[in-house]
């Protein structure tokens, strides 16, 4: 089950607004009081079991306060839901059978993906409230059938809702009324022996359960590892509590170490796994895939933990095909796969008065607006970082330009043998060091990725070193300087063998002279042209040995040393 879109008319802060849900993961962001929670409230009113005759929407309370109430205007909430023929087969079969018009003996119908539309109409007179339903554009006119379909949806509990700012209490341990050591020695030994035996059996069961959960995440097994633990037998024969976590393989901060945020994360992950189990359920009549809604999942989490949990939620929702809708103020919980999956809500201001909520357009360059809001900054620094922001890899190297990326890709070629750059991840150009002047953005990028390395030309390091220091970047750990410290060599071209540059310069004397021009545009144009010609000449008769890559090998050795050192540290922490 996946919500395609929701249309809100005259509901709380929304006058007339359509909200589309692009992917399985959606992040709704905006300032406080922008209307984020009103979107969630609308969804809950459509799907939660408390609906039906006890409609929680109150016309006089939920109609926009700045609009004059009129008998001609109603509150309307319309939700389009895509039902999957595999994950929602139970509901689809119910609809096919229940809505079949023929009175003849039922014949098996072909199961296809189904579009379900539910529309709530709330009027000034509660007796005139309506609920309209259509299935694949066919309106259900029978009021009884409408009610039964809603009851079926409500009974299935298709919404799993978590308000992270108000943690639930299913993990609270009951108050103790005694201590085991108050018993006599013989009784204590007897009970402890039985408890140890039971706990051994529980450990076997938990290992099997862990294996089953690991299988559920499918192709993500190479990236994540399930961790499952129990508190042990504590005389509660009906409910044995356990904690589940999911952490990136070789990542130094597993979920079970996240402190006060762990319980809420545990509940969220457990709900997602349970939703996946429903899809795999043998009984087709019960197969309906829930939608997971989370208010501020970043609550109580350190930025590095937010970043890890954000990646996990997005990866799980995509792999398991379970819709996750999160409201958030954190840049780490925004979608890093598709900019259209970030919904930015804002309130219009008319004559200094707050009015209706609207959805901001985040097409084109506006993709960065949600990130700027969450980071509390506005500027041109994002311009060249879009590809990096939405990288599908969690390990990246940021290089000054596209030509640098080509050199580094050549350096990663296996033809170099042990001297190659041993980096498994993505390479992205940042086209100038403008964004390096923003410590807030630098710090976010460092937390956003598991492994981030930034390269900077030697001739530019003086402009950004202080910002690296403010963001906690360390030389030859988080950033590496490119070039040789002598005039004309303080850039990536400084790593080229001299015979390449000598040949190109001799054949393009006019460009060499243009670099010294008083006209800035002429200088920049000549410099870019020469850089391109150096690369072309370098690749023409390239040899993967010291004659071509001598200086590159020195740089690769430094980066490889850091990569291998980090990997060992992470492995030791996981193993310890």
Contact between 29 and 297 (Cβ < 8 Å): no
Q: How confident is the model at residue 108 (pLDDT cuts 50, 70, 90)?
A: low
Sheet order of strands, 138-140 included = 14-20, 2-11, 75-83, 114-122, 130-135, 138-140
Average pLDDT over residues 327-356: 93
What phi and psi values does residue 155 have, to the nearest 5 degrees?
-65, -35
Q: What is the pLDDT of residues 149-206, one digit of tens each?
A: 998 888 887 888 888 776 544 333 333 333 344 455 666 677 777 777 777 777 787 7
If one compares 392 and 465, the residue with the highest pLDDT of the two is 465
The pLDDT of residue 240? 46
Report helix, strand or coil for 109.
coil
User: In the predicted model, what is the mean pLDDT of residues 22-48?
Assistant: 93
CA distance 168 to 172: 9
Percent of the chain with pLDDT over 90: 48
Instruction: Give residue 252's pLDDT band: very low, low, confident or very high (50, 70, 90).
Output: very low
Whats the size of the chain, residue-wise? 576
Category of 292 on φ-ψ map: left (φ > 0), alpha (ψ -120 to 50) or beta: beta
Cα 145 to Cα 502: distance, rounded to the nearest angstrom: 83
DSSP-assigned letter for residue 520: H
Contact (Cβ atoms closer than 8 angstroms) between residue 9 and residue 75: yes
pLDDT of residue 178: 36
84's tokens? 């999957």
In this prediction, residue 534 carries a pLDDT of 96
Helix (H, G, I), strand (E, B), or coil: what is residue 422?
A: coil
Instruction: Enumerate the β-bridge partners of residue 77.
Output: 8, 120
- pLDDT tens-place string over residues 535-552: 999 999 999 999 999 999
- The lowest-confidence range among 65-74, 217-226, 227-236, 265-274 is 227-236
Give the other-Cβ count within 10 Å of 436's Cβ: 25
* Structure-token pair, residue 513: 């002279």
83 vs 200: CA distance, rounded Å: 43
State the CB neighbour count (10 A cutoff) for residue 465. 16
Confidence of residue 575 (pLDDT cuts 50, 70, 90): very low
Section 240-248 average pLDDT: 56
Query: Residue 258 in 3-state DSSP?
Result: coil
Helix ranges, 80-130 (H):
89-98
Q: Cα dist. 355→28, 124, 346, 352, 369 in Å?
A: 19, 22, 10, 9, 21
Q: What is the mean pLDDT of the chain?
A: 83
Give every strand in the sheet of 426-429, ordered side by side. 426-429, 395-399, 451-457, 479-482
pLDDT level of residue 348 (50, 70, 90 thresholds): very high
Name residue 248's beta-bridge partners: 224
> Among 203-207, 310-314, 346-350, 375-379, which stretch is predicted with the lowest mean pLDDT?
203-207
Three-state DSSP state, 269: helix
What is residue 466's predicted lDDT score, i.e. its pLDDT?
95
pLDDT at residue 307 in the model = 87
Distance set, CA 507 to CA 460, 502, 542 (Å): 28, 9, 19
Residue 282 per-residue DSSP state: S
Beta strand 342-350 pairing with 25-30? parallel
Report the distance separating Cα 10 and Cα 76, nearest Å.
7
Under 8 Å between Cβ of 381 and 389: no
> Are 26 and 369 a contacting pair, CB within 8 Å?
no
């Amino acid at each position: 089950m996946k919500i395609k879109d929701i249309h809100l008319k005259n509901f709380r802060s929304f006058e007339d607004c359509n909200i589309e849900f692009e992917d399985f993961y959606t992040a709704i962001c905006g300032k406080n009081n922008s209307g984020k929670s009103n979107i969630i409230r609308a969804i809950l009113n459509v799907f939660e079991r408390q609906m039906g005759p006890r409609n929680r929407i109150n016309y006089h309370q939920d109609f926009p306060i700045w609009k004059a109430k009129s008998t001609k205007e109603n509150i309307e909430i319309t939700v389009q839901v895509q039902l999957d023929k595999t994950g929602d087969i139970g509901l689809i079969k119910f609809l096919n059978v229940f809505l079949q018009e023929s009175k003849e003996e039922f014949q098996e119908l072909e199961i296809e993906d189904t579009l379900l539309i539910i529309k709530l109409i709330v009027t000034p007179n509660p007796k005139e409230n309506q609920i309209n339903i259509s299935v694949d554009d066919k309106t259900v006119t029978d009021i009884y059938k409408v009610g039964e379909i809603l009851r079926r949806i409500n009974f299935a509990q298709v919404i799993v809702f978590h308000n992270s700012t108000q943690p639930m209490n299913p993990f609270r341990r009951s108050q103790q009324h005694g201590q085991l050591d108050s018993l006599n020695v013989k009784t204590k030994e007897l009970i402890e022996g039985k408890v140890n035996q039971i706990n051994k059996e529980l450990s076997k069961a938990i290992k099997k359960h862990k294996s089953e959960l690991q299988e559920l995440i499918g192709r993500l097994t190479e990236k994540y590892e399930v961790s499952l633990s129990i508190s042990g037998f504590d005389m509660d024969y009906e409910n044995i509590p356990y904690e589940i976590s999911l952490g990136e393989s070789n990542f130094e901060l597993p979920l079970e170490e996240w402190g006060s945020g762990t319980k809420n994360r545990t509940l969220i992950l457990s709900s997602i796994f349970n939703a996946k189990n429903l899809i795999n359920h043998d009984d087709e009549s019960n197969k309906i895939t829930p939608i997971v809604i989370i208010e501020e999942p970043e609550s109580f989490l350190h930025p590095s933990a937010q970043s890890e949990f954000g990646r996990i939620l997005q990866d799980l929702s995509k792999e398991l095909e379970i819709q996750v809708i999160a409201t958030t103020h954190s840049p780490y919980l925004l979608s890093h796969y598709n900019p259209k999956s970030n919904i930015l809500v804002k309130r219009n201001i008319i004559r200094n008065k707050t009015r209706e909520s609207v959805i901001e357009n985040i097409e084109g360059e506006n993709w960065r607006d949600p990130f700027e809001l969450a980071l509390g900054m506005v500027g041109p620094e994002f311009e060249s970082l879009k590809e990096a922001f939405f990288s599908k890899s969690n390990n990246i190297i940021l290089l000054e330009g596209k030509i640098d990326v080509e050199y580094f890709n050549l350096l990663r070629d296996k033809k170099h043998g042990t001297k190659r750059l041993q980096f498994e991840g993505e390479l992205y150009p940042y086209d100038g060091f403008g964004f390096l002047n923003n410590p807030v953005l630098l710090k976010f990028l460092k937390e956003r990725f598991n492994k981030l390395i930034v390269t900077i030309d030697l001739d530019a390091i003086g402009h950004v070193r202080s910002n690296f220091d403010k963001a906690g970047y360390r030389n030859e750990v988080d950033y590496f300087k490119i070039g040789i410290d002598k005039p004309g060599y303080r850039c990536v071209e400084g790593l080229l063998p001299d015979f390449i540059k000598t040949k190109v310069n001799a054949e393009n004397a006019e460009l060499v002279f243009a670099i010294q021009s008083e006209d800035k545009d002429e200088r920049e144009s000549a410099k870019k042209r020469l850089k391109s010609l150096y690369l072309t000449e370098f690749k023409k008769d390239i040899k993967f040995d010291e004659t071509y890559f001598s200086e590159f090998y020195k740089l690769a050795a430094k980066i490889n040393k850091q990569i291998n050192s980090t990997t060992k540290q992470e492995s030791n922490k996981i193993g310890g």
